[in-house]
Amino acid sequence: MRNSLGALLAIGLAGLQFVAVLAVVFSSYVTSERALLNHARDLLSDVGTNTIEHSRGFLGPARGAAELSARLAEDRVIASDVPELLEQLLFQQLLLAPQFAGVYHGGEDGEFVYVMRSEGPAPFRTKIIRVEDGVRTTELIWRDDDFNVVERRMDPLDTYDPRSRPWYIRARAELTTIWTDPYIFFSSQQPGITLASPVMDGPDAVRGIVGVDIEISEISEFLARLRIGSTGRALIIHENGDVIAHPNRSLLKTQDADGTLRFVDIAQFEDPIAREAFSDLVANGVIPVEHEMLSQFSFRNETYVSVVMPPISDNLPWTIAAYALESDFTEVIKQNRRNNFWIAALVAAITGLCGLALANYIYKPVRAFAVRSALISQGELDPSEPLPKTYQELENANRTLMQQIAARRETEIEYGRTFGLSSHGMAQIEAATGRFLRVNDKICEITGYSEDELTRMALADLVHPDEPLFLLSDGHGEDAPRAFNHEMRCLRRDGATVWTLVNAILIFNQEGKPIHYVLTMDDITPAKQTEDQIAELSKDLSNLSRDNTMGQVAAGLAHELNQPLTAIAQNADSALYSVDQIAGDHDGLRQTLEEIAEQSMRAGEIIKALRSFIRRDEGIRTDFDLGELVEQTKRLVIAEARAAGATIEADLADLPPVHANRIQIAQVLVNLLRNAVEAVADCESCDRRVLVRAERQGDQVLVAVEDTGPGVDPGISLFTEFETTKPTGMGLGLSICQSIVHANGGRLWHEPAEPQGARFCFTVAVGPA
Amino acid sequence: MPDSKPLVFVVDDDQDVRTSLSRALDQRGMQVETFPAAEAFLAAYDGERPACVVLDYGMPGMNGLELLEVLNQRQLPLGVVFITGHGGVPESVQAMKGGAVDFLEKPFRQPVLIERIQAALDLADSRYGSFVTHRDLKARFDRLTAREEEIVSHVVANPAEVSSKEIGNALGISPRTVDHHRARILEKLQVKSLVELIDLVTRLRFADGSRRL
């Protein structure tokens, strides 16, 4: 099946557009999902990075301050062994860094200066442990922001020795700045870390250690301020698994059985999402990671994304981790995507409809063109009608088409005229059914049906019931005859029988499929009647010929017998006469002679009776057209003439009707024609022509049959019975002819023809005018 | 009549018929001459004696009817009796029309034939007188020269213009010459006046059906 232009246009403009929109939507669906996840991860990564930077920013100054203090002490800018000066230095350091909880210096001799932030009675408190001559004293001094003493008292119960503290021991052992693990400060009960830096006295000698306490609650506050989606959180996990910073600070601390405060391990951490996300990573040694690690996990049917950052630095082996609900990032976009989908669907539908409309708009002239072409092909529209608005290509096609149609129509008209005006009956007949498709006037005339009636009939309906079953086709195209030529009888509408000569040819299309028959029908009834007449004549002639031959035999016998009978009768009578002349009684002799004479008379009577018995009536004379009879008799001998290679010509002047026995005259003509044909048949040198001439001479018509044969031998007695030159003849032909012509009141004779041949002439009386 | 014996001709193509008839007629004191064909008879008979012809109807060559026609034309002093083996009504009718005495179908008895022959001889006798007269007149006329015949024709055609002058004017010759011719004509035709001449010509024409004059 061929594609319809309309369908193609609809598919192309509407369908493809719809598919294209869907493809865009789908691809944006997929890519937006990925972009969204990347976005979420980037966001988490940023959170981690920010936290790291924040932590560094938070802790960096502490290191600077600690190391500065250590260097100052080392360089003896401040006499470290003078507690008051040291206190002043440490106080200034504390003022500079608000994240510092306290700054202190412990000496090798056990002395200790410690400046810290205080809840009251003043913002700062200083603790000084002095060791003088083995005696140690501990003094506590509370100062305001301007370093003025608010309160001062001694603490005799104090047993603190800096040299026993871990930070002192480690810094002294490592001889460099060290960070302690985070822990819960004893004094403030806040989480924090301690940074310690040795004060050197020569290359390997340590004079003391400067330490800085830094509360890291500030980092948790920072984390609490961070917004990571709706539920996302960042936290800091120490390398030992402790959670050291979390937006909810209260979760960080736990109390041991002995009352000591400590950090909560991630495995026990009260943030279940964080626990789910990271505890396994810690337990499996994945944390600390070397590179930022993003991952995804499920918790309570929700999908989360997480990020794990590498440790902040070697000194601070902290891992910053963050998690967030994936939907926090994707929900809006998903919603957006849903909206997009519906918008896309709507757009696809609208553009699809527009495409259909456009396709229709484009296709409409084509459809109009197609409809117009169909109408033209059915003859319901004149091709000269102006073409509706259409395309250049179609106009070109139209022009070509119109030329074709014009040419075809011309052919059609010529054919139709030939068909219509044909002197033959013509019809187109459907090959499969034998139905008439088209008929001309002549066939209507022959059959007596109107055109309308015929086109509702099949050829079989016309065929005379006495005709052998005649069908063009039994419906199977294979068996249909390709051509046929029949003489058959048809029934006219009025019931009369017509003899027709039917000729049909099966017409095939280019694929070799039969389309229809073209049939011609001629009324041959007159010719048939002539044939019948000739056949009738022939039959009559053969009867007549038989009768005539018998009659002629009888006549011939009569003549031949009558001669001796005459002689006998005369001789007997002569004898009787002689006896009468002689005197005496001769009755016996007289009687005998009388009987002889009488018996010969009786024989004559018998012959006469025989003749009259055989000779039927001399025929009924009628008036008839001699010319027509000559034509008919010509046709009776035409076959013999052809076989003999002879031609028969007739030269018949305008003849009046003649009065004679038609059959008998026909017999004469046939006999003379046969004789003439036979005469030329055996003649090699003749041009084998037989000519029949007839012309009026007074009240007679003279008929002459002339041949170009060798002529008649003068020694032959032509008209005598039983005399013949033919090996099979009886010698009666010409004598019978003569008898017939005489019987009809005419004469028959022979004369030689010029330059050679024989001419037999006879006369027939002209009928009464 | 120079010979008292009646003259009978038998024309028949059959030898036996001729012989038997010849014998029978001879027996009865008739002079018989036989011919096998019509043509031979025509050539032999000149009409010097009245006679009967016993004529066969069907003969090769000229048949009986055709011969009868010729005989009639020549106004010969003959009576004709047809005998035929073909005996047909049409033929007999034609024969009778042609002036035959009878039409006998073969075979026939002799007395019937003799009777017919007698009738035919009587007819021939009656024809003989006119035949002879006619022959004599014709013989007289035959002696006229062409100029004399011309004058006779003129006189017969214009009986009111019989003076020599009138005839001379009509024929472009002198009256004297006419006078001379007229005397010769009266002498040759053995008449005494022009009135007799006209009467003679009229008779001859009547008898002759007239080809000339």
- CATH number for the domain formed by residue range(s) A529-614: 1.10.287
Q: Which residue has 């003068």 as its token pair?
A: A714
Residues in chain B closer than 8 A to A608 (CB atoms): 87, 105
> Is the CB of B24 inside 8 Å of chain A's CB atoms?
yes
Q: Which residue has 């001799």 as its token pair?
A: A109
Question: Nearest Cα to A102, choosing from A197, A188, A199?
Answer: A188
The three state secondary structure string of A204-262 is: CCEEEEEEEEEECHHHHHHHHHCCECCCEEEEEEECCCEEEECCCHHHCEEECCCCCEE
- CATH number for the domain formed by residue range(s) B143-208: 1.10.10.10
Looking at domain A622-765, which of 3.40.50.1370, 3.40.50.1980, 1.10.1270.20, 3.30.565.10 is its CATH number?
3.30.565.10
* Cα A83-A89-A93 angle, rounded to 5 deg: 135
Question: Nearest Cα to B109, choosing from B18, B21, B11?
Answer: B21
pLDDT tier at A474, thresholds 50, 70, 90: very low
Percent of chain A topping pLDDT 90: 5
* Cα B91-B95-B99 angle, rounded to 5 deg: 170
The three state secondary structure string of A614-661 is: HCCCCCCCEEECHHHHHHHHHHHHHHHHHHCCCEEEEEECCCCCEEEC
Q: Please, what's the b/e burial string for A487-516 (b: 16 or more CB within 10 A of its CB; e: otherwise)? A: ebbbbeeeeeebbbbbbbebeeeeeeebeb
Q: How far is A725 from chain B (nearest CA, A)?
A: 17
Looking at the structure, give the CATH architecture of the domain made up of residues B7-130: 3-Layer(aba) Sandwich (3.40)
> Is the CB of B85 inside 8 Å of chain A's CB atoms?
yes
The three state secondary structure string of A50-106 is: HHHHHHHHHHHHHHHHHHHHHHHHHCCCCCCCCHHHHHHHHHHHHHHCCCEEEEEEE
Contact A573 B24 (CB under 8 A): yes
Question: Nearest Cα to A21, choosing from A342, A347, A357, A335?
Answer: A347
Cα distance between residue A103 and residue A196, in whole Å: 10
Sequence-distant (6+) residues with CB within 8 A of A600 are A565, A566, A568, A569, A572, B107
Interval A73-119: pLDDT, tens: 777 666 667 788 888 888 888 888 777 888 888 888 888 888 988 88
CATH entry 3.40.1410.10 includes domain A53-325:
no
Contact indicator for A131, A110 with CB cutoff of 8 Å: yes
Question: Nearest Cα to A513, choosing from A428, A430, A612?
Answer: A430
Domain boundaries for CATH 3.30.450.20 within chain A: 53-325, 422-523
Sequence-distant (6+) residues with CB within 8 A of A724 are A730, A731, A733
Interval A703-738: pLDDT, tens: 999 988 887 777 676 676 666 666 555 556 787 788
First-to-last C-alpha distance (Å) of chain B: 31
Q: What is the pLDDT of residue B206?
A: 62
The residue ranges of DSSP E strands in A413-482, in sequence order, are 425-430, 436-439
Amino acid letter, residue A335: Q
Task: Give the A:B interface size as CB pairs under 8 Å.
Answer: 86
Contact B17 A571 (CB under 8 A): no
Quick one: fold of A422-523? Answer: Beta-Lactamase (3.30.450)
Residues in chain A closer than 8 A to B17 (CB atoms): 563, 566-567, 570
Question: Nearest Cα to A114, choosing from A252, A38, A211?
Answer: A211
> Which chain B residue lies closest to A551 (C-alpha atoms)?
B86
Cα–Cα separations (whole angstroms), residue B162 to B154, B169, B203, B213? 9, 11, 20, 17
Contact A566 B108 (CB under 8 A): yes
Question: Nearest Cα to A289, choosing from A321, A252, A245?
Answer: A321
What is the CB-side half-sphere exposure of residue A285 using CA atoms within 13 A?
Answer: 0
Neighbours of A146 (CB within 10 A): 5
Number of H helices and E strands in chain A, helices first, is: 16, 28
Q: What is the pLDDT of residue A764?
A: 92
Question: Which of B27, B109, B111 lies at the smallest CB-CB distance from A578?
Answer: B27
Q: What is the pTM of this model?
A: 0.39
Question: Nearest Cα to A305, choosing from A334, A276, A284, A264?
Answer: A276
Residue A584 in tokens: 């005496």
Question: Nearest Cα to A195, choosing from A217, A171, A219, A173?
Answer: A171
pLDDT higher than threshold 60 for residue A422:
yes
pLDDT higher than threshold 80 for residue A677:
yes
Interval A377-416: pLDDT, tens: 777 777 677 777 777 887 887 788 778 878 887 887 888 7
Contact B85 A719 (CB under 8 A): no
Per-residue pLDDT of chain B (213 residues; tens, 9 = 90+): 445 789 999 999 889 899 999 999 998 899 999 999 999 998 998 888 889 999 988 787 788 888 888 888 888 888 999 888 766 677 778 888 888 888 888 889 999 999 999 999 998 888 887 777 777 777 888 888 888 888 888 888 887 777 888 888 888 888 888 888 888 888 888 888 778 888 777 777 665 544 444
Contact A570 B21 (CB under 8 A): yes
If DSSP codes are grouped into helix, strand and coil, which group holds residue A612? helix
Domain ranges of chain B: 7-130, 143-208
Cα distance between residue B84 and residue B91, in whole Å: 10
Residues forming beta bridges with residue A303, ordered by sequence position: A298
Mutation pick from A552, A553, A563, A661 vs chain B, by most beta carbons of B within 10 Å, is: A563
Domain boundaries for CATH 3.30.565.10 within chain A: 622-765
If DSSP codes are grouped into helix, strand and coil, which group holds residue B87? coil
